[in-house]
């Protein structure tokens, strides 16, 4: 059994109703249950007087039978007594001993919530893969469900690569940099349906990469950062080809060209670029859709705004360019420094997408900013 923290609020089965909701006709407000025809012509000047039979509260199992000329005091949520066909709000009445004066004519059926008005018995309520918002959880409770089956989070193994990468908290040695990608990926993916696990930093050896892939075999998804370009020591593609299959290695985007996707023993493996901006940008554009699909979450539609460019932007033909921007003074100002600068993302509000066939976007060109 998976821990609660590893479960997503996404239904794993269809839900139909076995009861009517509400299960009986009930009062929509405090007042008096009566027969509408008894109030014909009632007004402030000529009130109608009806005999008070009893009082009914929410939770009462039995209710008296109402006959013409009588009424019952009724509380919000209480069952409508037999014979009554309307509820008159208390502010339209005045109690006088064992009688009640009614100051308003009212239509049949007013202020009554009918049996099954919210949910009909045997009706389809939610299909499988419905995200359970707080209101939908409330609907399940209204149907009497104590528990439902939901999908688990995507168990995602995250492993950085490279002998130059060390964990934060240790002093940097010559030629070393702190591991950024593990923490940014873990934070982002957890928000989109993953249950991330952090693995050891892999050195540049086939043995180290093979060991991590073996250890991650029980996971639903494996994500490496670094080790996926065409450098002499970038061995990830060789290991995946040896242990499984590579579907693609390299995509026509900037930043993030050396992205890799493969499979080892049925587990998808993604090789992300080592540079932090390239890695995180590809996580937004590629990993989020993948993880959400695996978690049975609905497609993510980040907020978007329209703004004019704050500066002229040049792009490489043949590559789709994801350019980070900061929205300031009503304009989308380029925020990209380099693929290796995390502040290219951290100081940005979002990004714009430049098509492969566009090489120049002049200043003040209207663009769509996809917000982080």
pLDDT digits (tens, 9 = 90+) for 140-165: 999 999 999 999 999 999 999 988 88
β-strand partners of 166: 178
Residue 118 placed within a domain: no
| 143: containing domain | 4-16+124-151
Asked if residue 299 belongs to a domain, the reply is no
pLDDT tens per residue, range 228-269: 554 545 688 999 999 999 999 999 999 988 899 999 999 999
Residue 319 sits in a domain whose CATH number is: 2.40.340.10
pLDDT tens, residue by residue, 107-136: 999 999 999 999 999 999 999 999 999 999
Is residue 2 scored above 70 in pLDDT?
Answer: no
Centroid of chain to Cα 154: 15
Q: Do 359 and 288 sit in the same domain of this protein?
A: no
Q: Tell me: the pLDDT tens digits for 286-317?
A: 999 999 999 999 899 999 999 999 999 999 88
Cross-strand pairs, 254:
321
Examine residue 212 and state whether it is found in any structural domain, yes or no. yes
Say whether both 104 and 81 belong to one domain.
yes
Question: Same domain, yes or no, for 147 and 89?
Answer: no
Please indicate, yes or no, if residue 321 is contained in any of the structural domains: yes
- Residues 164, 283, single domain; the answer is yes
Reduced DSSP (H G I as helix, E B as strand, rest coil) percent helix, strand, coil of the chain, to 5: 20, 35, 45
> Which CATH number is 63's domain given?
2.170.190.11
- How confident is the prediction for the chain on average, in pLDDT? 92
310 and 249 within one domain: no
DSSP 261-286: EEEETTEEEEEE-SSHHHHHHHIIII
Query: Residue 155 has what DSSP assignment?
Result: E
Task: Let me know whether 35 and 78 are in one domain.
Answer: yes
Same domain, 265 and 166: yes
Residue 4 has pLDDT above 70, yes or no: no
In the chain, the number of structural domains is: 4
* DSSP reduced 3-state for 369: strand
- Domain assignment present for residue 186? The answer is yes
Tens digits of per-residue pLDDT, 330-348? 999 999 998 888 899 999 9
Q: Is the pLDDT of residue 217 over 70?
A: yes
Q: Which of 15-19, 61-65, 267-271 has the lowest mean pLDDT?
A: 61-65
Percent of the chain exceeding pLDDT 90 equals 81
- The answer to the question of residue 173 being in a domain is yes
- Give the pLDDT confidence score for residue 8 in this predicted structure: 75
**Count of other CB atoms within 10 angstroms of residue 1:** 5
129 and 108 assigned to the same domain: no
Q: Taking the model in full, what pTM does it have? A: 0.78
Is 108 a member of any domain?
yes
Same structural domain, 224 and 347: no
- Strand ranges for 1-98 from DSSP E: 7-11, 15-16, 26-27, 31-34, 48-56, 70-74, 86-89, 93-96
- What is d(CA 218, CA 264) in angstroms, rounded to the nearest whole number? 11
Residue 204, pLDDT > 80, answer: no
* Last residue of one domain, picked from the residues 294, 329, 347: 294
Q: Hey, is 224 helix, strand or coil?
A: strand
Domain boundary among 133, 151, 169: 151
User: Which residue among 113, 132, 164 closes a domain?
Assistant: 113
**Sign of the torsion formed by the C-alpha atoms of 283, 287, 289 and 292:** negative
pLDDT tens-digit profile of 273-293? 989 999 999 999 999 999 999
Same structural domain for residues 41 and 143?
no
Tokens of 167: 């964990």
My answer on whether 144 and 173 are in the same domain is: no
**80 lies in the same domain as 207:** no
């Amino acid at each position: 059994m998976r821990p609660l923290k590893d479960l997503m609020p996404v239904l794993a089965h269809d839900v139909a109703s076995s009861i009517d909701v509400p299960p009986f006709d009930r009062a929509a407000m405090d007042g008096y249950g009566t027969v509408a025809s008894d109030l014909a012509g009632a007004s402030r000047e000529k009130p109608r007087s009806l005999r008070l039979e009893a009082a009914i509260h929410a939770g009462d199992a039995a209710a008296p039978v109402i006959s013409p000329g009588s009424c019952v005091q009724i509380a919000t949520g209480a069952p409508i007594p037999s014979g009554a066909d309307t509820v008159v709000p208390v502010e339209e009445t005045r109690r006088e001993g064992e009688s009640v004066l009614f100051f308003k004519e009212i239509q049949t059926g007013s202020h009554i919530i009918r049996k099954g008005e919210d949910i009909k018995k045997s009706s389809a309520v939610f299909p499988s893969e419905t995200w359970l918002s707080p209101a939908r959880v409330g609907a399940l409770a209204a149907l009497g469900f104590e528990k439902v089956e939901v999908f688990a989070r995507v168990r995602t193994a995250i492993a950085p690569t490279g002998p130059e990468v060390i964990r934060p908290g240790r002093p940097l040695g010559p030629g070393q940099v702190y591991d950024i990608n593990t923490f940014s990926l873990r934070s982002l993916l957890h928000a989109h349906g993953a249950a991330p696990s952090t693995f050891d930093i892999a050195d540049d050896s086939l043995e180290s990469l093979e060991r991590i892939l073996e250890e991650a075999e029980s996971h639903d998804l494996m994500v490496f950062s670094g080790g996926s370009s065409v450098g002499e020591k970038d061995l990830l593609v060789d290991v995946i080809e040896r242990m499984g299959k590579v579907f693609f290695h390299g995509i026509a985007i900037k930043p993030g060209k050396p992205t890799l996707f493969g499979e080892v023993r049925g587990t998808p493996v993604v090789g992300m670029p080592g540079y932090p901006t390239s890695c995180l940008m590809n996580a937004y554009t590629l990993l989020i859709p993948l993880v959400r699909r695996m978690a049975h979450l609905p497609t993510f539609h980040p907020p978007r705004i329209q703004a004019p460019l704050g500066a002229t932007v040049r792009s490489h033909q043949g590559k789709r360019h994801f350019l980070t921007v900061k929205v300031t003074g009503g304009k989308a100002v380029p925020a990209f420094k380099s693929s290796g600068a995390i502040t290219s993302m951290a100081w940005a509000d979002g990004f714009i997408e430049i098509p492969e066939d566009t090489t120049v976007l002049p200043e003040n060109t209207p663009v769509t900013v996809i917000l982080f």
